[in-house]
Amino acid sequence: MLPPELIVLISIAAPALVGAAWLYRGSRTLSAGFIGVIAGGIGGALFMVPLNYCTFEADRTSTDVAFGVFLIALGAVIGIAVGAGVNRIVGSGKGISSLTSEQNTAGTFKGTVIPFALLAPTLVILALFLYAPALDNLRLSTLLARLGTDRTAFVCVDNFTKLLEPRQNYGQTLYATFLISFFTVIIGLAISLMIAYVAYQPVRGASIYRTLLIWPYAISPPVAGIIFGMVFNEGAGIMNHLIRSGGGVPVQWLQSASIAPWTIIAASVWKSMGFNILFYIAGLQNVPKDLIEAAAIDGANFVVRFRRVIIPMLSPITFFLIITNITYAFFETYGTIDFLTRGGPAGATSTMIYRIVDNGLNQRDLGSAAAQSLILFSLVIIITLIQFRTSGRRVTYGR
């Protein structure tokens, strides 16, 4: 193992060099390179200083070392991304003043204390009930902590690397999360688009139809679970009754590990469809009619018009819906799962959020739950960043 001082040096110097090269390559100024050095260096130390470089201690496993390198790289990416943002502001010539004050002064009230007084309730609540718990989560993820006891012990990144052990079955949790999320989003959007395409046409009673199509949005995920639990109940449910009276073999909708995720998907699709249909109808009403007519005059049949005109025109709204549906599938399905399968059978429907609650508050392993929360958090941040990068172009209605 390398001496600790050398590890610290490398973990700061390497990201600093990468940061300098990256930012210098972009704008070819010395100041950009300088910002890159600072940003990369801070980024490299971002996770390692709070952890006190524990992943590189002599008795650590190679998994820990690899995870440490990953954290240095992740910190470097975050640092350099922030550095690039700072560089753009500095480079744009407006300087730091554009960060602290607004150019537009028309119609503003005087006073600098009043705005903070107006914002105080919001800021205090956000700080106490969002930021503080988030920091606590970060700290907990490095601790051996049990719910109900105050004693804790620092365990470095064990809560993360432990998840890689086969008996933890974290792969299954990831698989269940992605299976349920992916198909909830894909199936939900496809069916919703088809229904919306019919519903947006100017038929008599359109607003009544629309109301009858979108109301499931207001149904809660637990209620969706309860109702689908009845429809798909293996003994008393209507689905198996229909199958039995058709001479078929009853399906184990909730007891079979290969079918249960699909029952969850069905309930989630049903619950999310109202929202999707509502937005697709709005989007379709803004597709210029002359565009569709022009395509029809050119001899494009229904399928071609749908594929070549409708779907491209709706892509911004589809994108918005994909993001909101992923967030729904990640988090809101908790209530549905809790009533339908409670994560079973054998963990087949135990998604990331379900497992966080189960591990943390039922099995009382706060450290592991906090670590899993951070993994989910990073997924959400990635999704949100994609959303922000494309916002503005996202929901454009053409006119």
Residue 306 lies near other proteins (rule: CB under 8 A):
no
Token pair in block for residue 71? 């954290």
Identify residues 5-64 at the interface with other proteins (CB under 8 A). none
Residue 301 lies near other proteins (rule: CB under 8 A):
no
Which helix (H) or strand (E) is 40 found in, with range? helix 30-46
- How many C-beta neighbours within 10 Å does residue 168 have? 14
Three-class SS of residue 145? strand
In whole angstroms, the minimum distance from the beta carbon of 337 to other proteins comes to 11
d(CA 50, CA 374): 16
- How many C-beta neighbours within 10 Å does residue 361 have? 12
Query: Among the candidate windows 12-20, 66-74, 177-185, 358-366, which touches other proteins by CB under 8 A?
Result: 358-366
Residue 79 lies near other proteins (rule: CB under 8 A):
no
Pick one of 122, 149, 258, 301: the residue that binds other proteins (CB under 8 A).
Answer: 122
d(CA 273, CA 275): 5
Residue 361 lies near other proteins (rule: CB under 8 A):
yes
Contacts of 163 (CB under 8 A, 6+ apart): 170, 368, 371, 372, 375
In the complex with other proteins, the residue whose CB is nearer, 13 or 322, is 322
285, amino acid identity: Q
Interhelix angle for 238-245 vs 221-231, to 10°?
20
The conformation of residue 152, written as its DSSP 8-state character, comes to: E
Identify residues 365-384 at the interface with other proteins (CB under 8 A). 366, 369-370, 373, 376-377, 380-381, 384
Token pair in block for residue 376? 């989910």
Residue 82 lies near other proteins (rule: CB under 8 A):
no
The conformation of residue 365, written as its DSSP 8-state character, comes to: B
In whole angstroms, the minimum distance from the beta carbon of 294 to other proteins comes to 18
The answer to whether the beta carbons of residues 199 and 206 sit under 8 Å apart is yes
Tell me the CA end-to-end span of the chain in Å, nearest whole number.
63
Query: Among the candidate windows 24-32, 59-67, 159-167, 197-205, which touches other proteins by CB under 8 A?
Result: 197-205
Pick one of 26, 91, 250, 335: the residue that binds other proteins (CB under 8 A).
Answer: 335
In whole angstroms, the minimum distance from the beta carbon of 397 to other proteins comes to 6
Residue 390 lies near other proteins (rule: CB under 8 A):
no
In the complex with other proteins, the residue whose CB is nearer, 161 or 272, is 272
Residue 346 lies near other proteins (rule: CB under 8 A):
no
Beta bridge partners of 143: 154
Residue 71 lies near other proteins (rule: CB under 8 A):
no
Query: Among the candidate windows 33-41, 67-75, 181-189, 231-239, which touches other proteins by CB under 8 A?
Result: 231-239
d(CA 145, CA 360): 10
Identify residues 235-294 at the interface with other proteins (CB under 8 A). 235-236, 238, 241, 270, 273-274, 278-279, 281-282, 285-286
Pick one of 3, 93, 166, 202: the residue that binds other proteins (CB under 8 A).
Answer: 202
In the complex with other proteins, the residue whose CB is nearer, 14 or 138, is 138
Identify residues 166-195 at the interface with other proteins (CB under 8 A). 195
d(CA 367, CA 159): 6
In whole angstroms, the minimum distance from the beta carbon of 165 to other proteins comes to 21
Pick one of 26, 222, 344, 345: the residue that binds other proteins (CB under 8 A).
Answer: 222
d(CA 32, CA 80): 11
Token pair in block for residue 205? 């009673």
Q: Each residue of 188-201: b (16+ CB within 10 Å) or e?
A: bbeebbebbbebbe
The answer to whether the beta carbons of residues 90 and 30 sit under 8 Å apart is no
In the complex with other proteins, the residue whose CB is nearer, 18 or 176, is 176
Residue 342 lies near other proteins (rule: CB under 8 A):
no
The answer to whether the beta carbons of residues 310 and 285 sit under 8 Å apart is no
Pick one of 115, 171, 248, 288: the residue that binds other proteins (CB under 8 A).
Answer: 115
In whole angstroms, the minimum distance from the beta carbon of 380 to other proteins comes to 6
Total binding residues for other proteins by CB under 8 A? 104
Residue 88 lies near other proteins (rule: CB under 8 A):
no
